[in-house]
Chains A and B, each alone.
Chain A
Amino acid sequence: MDSALLVHRLHFAFTVTFHYLFPQLTMGLAPLIVILKTLALRRNEEVYNQAARFWARIFGINFVMGVVTGIPMEFQFGTNWSHFSRFAGGVIGQTLGMEGMFAFFLESAFLGLFLYGEKRLSPRAHWWSAVAVWLGSWRSGFFIVATDAWMQNPVGYEKSADGSVQLSSFWELVLNPWAWWQYAHNMSGAVITGAFVMVSVGAFYLLWGKYEEYGRVFLRVGVMAGLVFTILQLFPTGDGQGRLLARQQPVTLAAMEALYESTPGAPLILIGQPDTAQRKIDNPLVLPKMLSFLTYRRWEAEVKGLNAFPPDTWPENIPLLYFSYHIMVGLGTIFIAVMLLAAFLLWRGTLFESRWMLWVLLLSLPFPYIANTAGWMTAEIGRQPWLVYGLMRTAEGYSKMVSAGNGLFTLLGFMGMYTVLSILFLFLVRREIEIGPAVEAAAGH
């Protein structure tokens, strides 16, 4: 691998992975805050307003991180991937341009009103500002996913004389089936992060024995939302995404499962390490015929293995793809179990006293972040060796004029900057959690 190519890939991978730690919580918390605000309006109980304010403070810190780490993303299409931008800008410039016009302006205009405007606005108007922020963050998510979906499954384009692609159908681009499945799956994943963060803080307060009233609210709202969205994450969104993948990128599916040979009645691998040299799985633990059933709804259906495709179309890093995918699915399954159990205890009225379960919920905090990251890695590593599936290879897309040295210089700069940002973020959020939700009431709100 040419070292400049490697540097530019790492540059984007590092900055986008770090960036997405923040928007997933922004997008996941926004609807939960709207739920809290709605409960406050409906039931007219101050505890919900206080809970909403507490999460708005966390949201605010998180949002700043999302904004400052998001700015470099838009620029990097041009700075590090200029040949790709020149090739595909006529199409994905549409979705990226719309993100600015429809999402960023909305979000930035109403965020200030939402975070600081409560005293000036009526409760109903403040509720609307929360809805506007939610809408803005989810619109932003859509345009980004639609951009990625076009790279996964290019539609609505035509080739022009200079070799670039240009838009031929706006509606095909916006209604790309890949975009809608991926969007549903991605947003559900974001709400799962929001729900787990909320229950984790709630469990922490109950275990700590402080702000217990709020802890119970966080647990109730978080567990309900978590239960709904962990299930939606598997079905229909994950299932739909997987079946689309089997149709449009069968070689990616084979690589995700490390299925080297085409197999009728293919098994689903639960555990096992792929051995690329010998083309087998070490110590496999499998569900027989399950992959065939999940993909084609027939137990005996043949699933194409990697041997059915030319090796130069195989994803380059099969073990990493395999693990990303299996970590995502494995964690997703565990999330359903955790949320089912928590919901059962909540229904029985014993959740708040079950210290062992509170510990489980408290410690679950990092895992939705890992699952969401692994999910995006599955999508992006699975698309390789293509940058735009079937149209442009990754090796053709980077900025040829920017040397490996210059790329590494800025990559290291970002690494340093993001280390500082992480420390600041963790410090400030930890502090907010310790100050707790009750503080503003004491200060005369």
Chain B
Amino acid sequence: MPTVWFIIVSVMIAAYVVLDGFDLGAGIIYLFAARGTQERRSILQAIGPVWDGNEVWLLAAGGTLYFAYPQLYASAFSGFYLPLMIVLWLLMLRGIGIELRSQIGNPVWQGFFDTIFSLSSALLAIFFGAALGNVIRGVPLGADGYFFEPLWTNFQLGPHPGILDWYTVIAGVVALVTLTAHGSLYVALKTEGGLQERAQRVAIRIWPVQLALTLISLVATWFVRPSIKENYLAYPIGFFIPVVVFVSLGMMLVQIRKGKELSAFLASCVYITGMLVGAVFALYPVVLPASTGEAYNLTISNTAAGHHGLSVGLIWWSLGMILTLGYFFFVYRMFRGKVPANGGSYGHPDTEEAKNVFSHAR
């Protein structure tokens, strides 16, 4: 039963990264790829109707993590206290940046919220990457299953590292670059004209960096946590995962060069999922490794909730998931197709963004 929930929580986190990843990425390229009010509006139209739903995956994954692994939730959330609080502030800033920007047409107002939106998107990508880096590297868990990490100490590895050290900084940069590419491909998929070309160019230019960072992060992970190879050696099918990662990374470049934006975007989805699955596969059954010695590792068995609760949860979770997939299918169908390059400028300012999506969809 704990293994089932390990898979469920991993899938929800992956869904969050893939889905919210593209609107974070769109936010990262927002300031430099979109020229002028019209193009910025196009990016906002492309993510406007879905970003909130995407972000709910984070909340739902958090809620499910709490439900399935209360001890992991308690330990990780209090140990990562400072970065989590910063993530919360960034999420709040980003939310109001997107939603309040179009309330008022004044360029000063919009410029302010544009910057807030883009900066918070980029910082969130870095923090999420660093968080994943922390989970892979391990944290200074004590015998009571708790820890506390300051934001940084000396940027070195060791039994008592900070949130940021050289390894987690690499992970943060990998996330920034990956989501930049992911978001660019999404924008290329959803828009037309100069904006689409520029988004494609970002994806193509950043590709070599992404390739290099993928290799560096793999080598660094091997160095930081040599035990990752154990699961791969025990279950050699796992070596399929890095193959998928590199093939999908290659496909991203091939497809975007051909101008097939949908295939390229989907390849990016596969790449992100592959990277996450690779990490999760290496960790299992550990959910939070200890830098203070393997005896203190948090695993699925010493952090899971009671058996009855987990069984009951499987019923309502499945029901909720079916409903959710239904809503998402419906909403993405409503908003499918390209956002027009020449959105109108009628109506009340706060509704015009999304109205255009509706009136030009299909």
- Say yes or no: A399-B78 contact (C-beta < 8 A), given A68-B95, A79-B84, A428-B100: yes
* Chain B proximity of A236: nearest CB distance (Å): 29
Do the beta carbons of A424 and B100 come within 8 Å of each other? yes
Expressed in whole angstroms, the Cα–Cα distance for A88 and B313 within the complex equals 16
Within 8 A of B (CB), among A50-99: 57, 60-61, 64, 67-69, 71-72, 74-75, 77-80, 82-83, 85-86, 88-91, 93-94, 96-99
Interface string of B122-143 (1 = CB under 8 A from A): 0000000000000000000000
* Chain B proximity of A115: nearest CB distance (Å): 7
A78 partner, pick from B59, B66, B355, beta carbons under 8 A: B66
Check: A444 CB closer than 8 A to any chain B CB.
Answer: yes
Check: A359 CB closer than 8 A to any chain B CB.
Answer: no
Cβ contacts under 8 Å, A158 to chain B: 306
Do the beta carbons of A110 and B327 come within 8 Å of each other? yes
| A-B complex: 4 closest residue pairs judged by Cβ atoms | A89-B70, A78-B77, A101-B320, A166-B306
Do the beta carbons of B148 and A402 come within 8 Å of each other? yes
Could you list 13 A-B pairs, sorted by A, with CB under 8 Å?
A: A68-B96, A74-B63, A75-B77, A80-B81, A82-B75, A86-B70, A89-B74, A93-B305, A100-B59, A104-B59, A113-B334, A120-B334, A402-B78
Expressed in whole angstroms, the Cα–Cα distance for A85 and B145 within the complex equals 13
Do the beta carbons of A90 and B81 come within 8 Å of each other? no
Do the beta carbons of A401 and B309 come within 8 Å of each other? no
* Chain B proximity of A413: nearest CB distance (Å): 6
Interface string of B58-69 (1 = CB under 8 A from A): 011111101110
Cβ contacts under 8 Å, B308 to chain A: 166-168
Interface string of B8-27 (1 = CB under 8 A from A): 00000000000000000000
Do the beta carbons of B85 and A97 come within 8 Å of each other? no
Check: B354 CB closer than 8 A to any chain A CB.
Answer: yes
Check: A160 CB closer than 8 A to any chain B CB.
Answer: yes
B306 partner, pick from A90, A108, A110, beta carbons under 8 A: A90
Check: A105 CB closer than 8 A to any chain B CB.
Answer: yes
Q: Which of B32-40, B274-282, B342-350 contacts A (4 or more CB under 8 A)?
A: B342-350
Do the beta carbons of A78 and B78 come within 8 Å of each other? yes
Cβ contacts under 8 Å, B215 to chain A: none
Do the beta carbons of A82 and B82 come within 8 Å of each other? no
Cβ contacts under 8 Å, A419 to chain B: none
Most chain A CB neighbours (cut-off 10 Å) among B313, B317, B321: B313
Within 8 A of A (CB), among B45-103: 48-50, 52-53, 55-56, 59-64, 66-68, 70-71, 73-82, 84-85, 88-89, 91-92, 95-96, 99-100, 103
* Chain A proximity of B118: nearest CB distance (Å): 17
Expressed in whole angstroms, the Cα–Cα distance for A83 and B70 within the complex equals 10
Check: A106 CB closer than 8 A to any chain B CB.
Answer: yes
B70 partner, pick from A90, A104, A401, A443, beta carbons under 8 A: A90
Check: B216 CB closer than 8 A to any chain A CB.
Answer: no
Given contacts A82-B75, A97-B64, A109-B324, 20 further A-B contacts (CB under 8 A): A67-B52, A67-B95, A69-B92, A71-B88, A74-B63, A78-B73, A82-B77, A89-B305, A90-B306, A96-B66, A100-B64, A102-B323, A112-B49, A120-B361, A158-B306, A167-B312, A401-B148, A403-B148, A417-B89, A421-B96
Cβ contacts under 8 Å, B353 to chain A: 116
CB closest chain-B residue, reference A120: B358
Do the beta carbons of B316 and A101 come within 8 Å of each other? yes
Check: A42 CB closer than 8 A to any chain B CB.
Answer: no
Check: B232 CB closer than 8 A to any chain A CB.
Answer: no
Do the beta carbons of A105 and B74 come within 8 Å of each other? no
Cβ contacts under 8 Å, A400 to chain B: 146
- Say yes or no: A109-B348 contact (C-beta < 8 A), given A78-B77, A94-B309, A401-B146: no
Interface residues of B, Cβ cutoff 8 Å to A: 48-50, 52-53, 55-56, 59-64, 66-68, 70-71, 73-82, 84-85, 88-89, 91-92, 95-96, 99-100, 103-104, 145-148, 305-306, 308-309, 312-313, 316-317, 320-321, 323-324, 327-328, 330-331, 334, 346-348, 350-351, 353-355, 357-359, 361
Expressed in whole angstroms, the Cα–Cα distance for A185 and B347 within the complex equals 40
Within 8 A of B (CB), among A281-305: none
CB closest chain-A residue, reference B361: A120
CB closest chain-B residue, reference A70: B59
Within 8 A of B (CB), among A223-253: none
Check: A275 CB closer than 8 A to any chain B CB.
Answer: no
Do the beta carbons of B59 and A439 come within 8 Å of each other? no
Within 8 A of B (CB), among A117-149: 117, 119-120
Check: A440 CB closer than 8 A to any chain B CB.
Answer: yes
Cβ contacts under 8 Å, B331 to chain A: 109, 112-113
Check: A406 CB closer than 8 A to any chain B CB.
Answer: yes
**Interface residue tally for chain A (C-beta within 8 Å):** 72
Do the beta carbons of A93 and B52 come within 8 Å of each other? no
Do the beta carbons of A93 and B66 come within 8 Å of each other? yes
Check: A14 CB closer than 8 A to any chain B CB.
Answer: no
- Say yes or no: A97-B63 contact (C-beta < 8 A), given A109-B331, A402-B148: yes
* Chain A proximity of B56: nearest CB distance (Å): 5
Expressed in whole angstroms, the Cα–Cα distance for A317 and B52 within the complex equals 40
Do the beta carbons of A443 and B63 come within 8 Å of each other? no
Do the beta carbons of B85 and A109 come within 8 Å of each other? no
Do the beta carbons of A79 and B53 come within 8 Å of each other? no
Expressed in whole angstroms, the Cα–Cα distance for A49 and B74 within the complex equals 47
Check: A445 CB closer than 8 A to any chain B CB.
Answer: yes
* Chain A proximity of B299: nearest CB distance (Å): 14
Check: A170 CB closer than 8 A to any chain B CB.
Answer: yes
Check: A410 CB closer than 8 A to any chain B CB.
Answer: yes
Within 8 A of B (CB), among A256-313: none
Cβ contacts under 8 Å, A98 to chain B: 63, 316, 320
CB closest chain-A residue, reference B75: A82
Cβ contacts under 8 Å, A67 to chain B: 52, 95
Cβ contacts under 8 Å, A85 to chain B: 66, 70, 73-74, 77
Interface string of A424-445 (1 = CB under 8 A from B): 1000100100010001100111
Do the beta carbons of A96 and B63 come within 8 Å of each other? yes
Check: A321 CB closer than 8 A to any chain B CB.
Answer: no
